[in-house]
Amino acid sequence: MPGASVTEPRPSLGLTAKIFLASALLVVAVLGVTFGVTSLEANRTADASISGALVAARRAVEDYLAARTRTLGRASRVATDVPQYRDRLLKRDRAEVLDQADDIRDLIGAAWVLVTDVDGILMARTDYRDQYDRDLSVAPLVANALSGEQTSGAWLDDVQGTMYIAVGTPLQDRPGSAPLGALVASYQLEDSLARAIGQATNSDVVFFSLDTLNQPVVVGSTLPGSAMQAALRSAVVPDSLAADTGGGRAVWTELEGQHLVGMAGAIRSPGGDLRGGFVALRSREAELAAFRALRRTMLLAVGLGVVLALVFAFVLARQISGPVRRLAVATRRVQDGDYSVEIEVGARDEIGVLSLAFKSLVEDLREKATLVDYMMQASGGAPTQQMATAQTTDALRPGSVFAGRYEVKEILGAGGMGVVYRAFDRELQEPVAIKTLRPEAVSGGHVALERFKQEIRLARRIAHRNVVRTYDLGEVGGVYYLTMEYVEGTSLKQLITTRGKLPIAVTLTVGKQVCRALEVAHGEGVIHRDIKPQNIVVEPNGFLKVMDFGIARLANPPQGKGLTEAGVSIGTPDYMSPEQLSGTELDARSDLYAAGVVLFECVTGRVPFEAETTWALVAQHLEEPPPDPRTLNADVPEALAAVIVKAMAKQPADRFASAVEMHDALARIG
């Protein structure tokens, strides 16, 4: 009850601790998962980066060797095109040929140069100076040169265990003429070349030749050759390399703390036979160095983040638990009947939304409590049910059983549509209201009856606490009847008749609940057409119920006839909109006009238009502007008066667009 003492629970860290612990665990879990995923992704990225770098390095080594070979070939061609050089190379004096070969070697930067005559017989060789008169015509480089074609390829020196890339160039006195001999120049695949390529490609490079057992032998390397020898034998597969399927990633053993990954390429003779190859190497540790530095930084950041997250989680937990604890205290007070609690709405977060919803709920309960108190005062302490005397048939006399299932208890009232009874449904074991329909109300032929049935189907879909549920339409012995939810309460009309104008707070409660009922009905496509205090019942718990959804069409003239058709029942014109009175097409805004008239009557105790005849009353609704309720009740707030006047605008376009909009306008008042 208001003013009751409610003991506030002592502050407890139970909820705070739970939120804090959950938040901390969540933060640690998220950071741990993030770090783990980042580590996996970094390793995957490093492997992909190494693979891409190895492919690029292998291509770079191949391009470097090809460029070096082309340069040597062009230099050899230029040197042999000089007549003086060529003539000296073709002399029979071996010492002179050897001297010229030395000059050409130095000029073109070759490792060694050899010269043969037109038959392929060795005339001079700068590396093995004592050799001559050897038949080299079967060597592919010499044979191709003597056929007039410049070619290149691997050249193995089995004596010294070295490997060269050599270029064979024909000696011709003019382009296209028959070769007069051959010149072979070479450069060595050695450590210095490997280092030069390694600097250009930012990789380690190892050159190797194949011995007589087809095993790789290191001939040049940026890394220690002895350490690489065993790794080459276990990692390089000559057959795969010869088939040009080499170059796939190979895992190498650790070398000086480095985990190396290599990709091999082939080096072939002019005839295409495999003579050796090279391996481009990348250090996995070097690729991951940046990540490992980042990982150390991340570990520090994660540690700092966990500490900050724990502090933040603790503060957040207190911010969450404080408002929740206050809402719990307020809930207990409301449960004890104290609706005077004040709910603070702070931030726009979830707690703020919850506080706002709870505040709205308390205000709603407070309004209903005000309405209940007012009803109790009006009825002398007990809610009443409007009664009316009416003629009834024997089938519906109290104590009889109607339609084989309804025990008729009493007559509740009578109106333009028929008589309303309170009955008990034997099949469902619950009370119901039965409204019989006068024969003339359902006259009009099969089409009119089908249209009425469709209205009832739509009305049955309306399920809301502010709407009296329509259950079924039946017919017994030519008598049509409706079964509806039984509501025990006081009609709004009776409340106004007995008490006069209602308090502003009560009027606002009535208006908002009527708008809620219209909102759900209009959402189902149902227009009431007969909103009036007689069709609004106030229950003892403060809820309003709007009755007769779906059947008001029968109490109104057919569309297009208005009030001009003789003998047409026109219902209650005090609450009808201008378009309904004139017989034009109706929409949901017609119900809002009637709701405005009801609110006018609530705050003034009378309807806005009064006349001695029906036609004069209709003319006022059609032509006169709605009066300001403040002229009859100075206590009406200006905002409420504006809502009422807007709802009663002559043109539908000047009214509220929907029941929701009208409800929100009333809610802003209080």
Close Cβ partners of 124 (under 8 Å, ≥ 6 residues apart) = 94, 97, 98, 101, 114, 115, 132
**CA-to-CA distance for 420 and 414, rounded, in angstroms?**
6
The answer to whether residue 348 sits within a structural domain is no
Band of residue 16 on the pLDDT scale cut at 50, 70, 90: low
Q: Which domain holds residue 435?
A: 394-669
Domain CATH code at residue 546: 1.10.510.10
The answer to whether residue 481 sits within a structural domain is yes
The answer to whether residue 370 sits within a structural domain is no
Q: In the listed set 270, 287, 304, which residue is the last one of a domain according to the structure?
A: 287
Residues 271 and 410 in one domain: no
Domain CATH code at residue 202: 3.30.450.20
The answer to whether residue 28 sits within a structural domain is no
Asked whether the predicted pLDDT for residue 12 surpasses 50, the reply is no
Asked whether the predicted pLDDT for residue 115 surpasses 90, the reply is yes
What pLDDT shows up at residue 416? 66
Band of residue 18 on the pLDDT scale cut at 50, 70, 90: low
Residues 589 and 463 in one domain: yes
**CA-to-CA distance for 82 and 79, rounded, in angstroms?**
6
Amino acid letter for position 12: S
Mean per-residue pLDDT, 390-409: 79
The answer to whether residue 10 sits within a structural domain is no
Q: In the listed set 227, 253, 287, which residue is the last one of a domain according to the structure?
A: 287
330 CB burial (10 A radius; 0-12, 13-18, 19+): buried
Mean per-residue pLDDT, 267-293: 83
Residues 273 and 405 in one domain: no
What pLDDT shows up at residue 284? 75
634-669 residue pLDDT tens: 999 999 999 999 999 999 999 999 999 999 999 999
Lowest mean pLDDT among 240-254, 312-326, 625-639: 240-254
**CA-to-CA distance for 353 and 360, rounded, in angstroms?**
10
* Angle, CA of 611, 614 and 436, to the nearest 5°: 125
The structural domain count of the chain equals 2
Do residues 463 and 545 touch, judged by C-beta distance below 8 A? no
505-556 residue pLDDT tens: 999 999 999 999 999 999 988 899 889 999 999 988 888 999 888 775 554 4
- Tokens in use for 136? 């080299």
Q: In the listed set 287, 308, 326, which residue is the last one of a domain according to the structure?
A: 287
The answer to whether residue 368 sits within a structural domain is no
204-232 residue pLDDT tens: 899 999 988 888 999 999 988 777 887 88
Residues 530 and 650 in one domain: yes
Residue 488 CA, chain-centre distance (Å), reads: 49
The answer to whether residue 282 sits within a structural domain is yes
Residues 280 and 405 in one domain: no
3-state DSSP helix/strand/coil percent for the chain, to nearest 5?
50, 20, 35
What pLDDT shows up at residue 450? 75
Residues 426 and 546 in one domain: yes
What pLDDT shows up at residue 563? 47
The answer to whether residue 51 sits within a structural domain is yes
Band of residue 155 on the pLDDT scale cut at 50, 70, 90: very high
Residue 664 CA, chain-centre distance (Å), reads: 31
Mean per-residue pLDDT, 392-417: 81
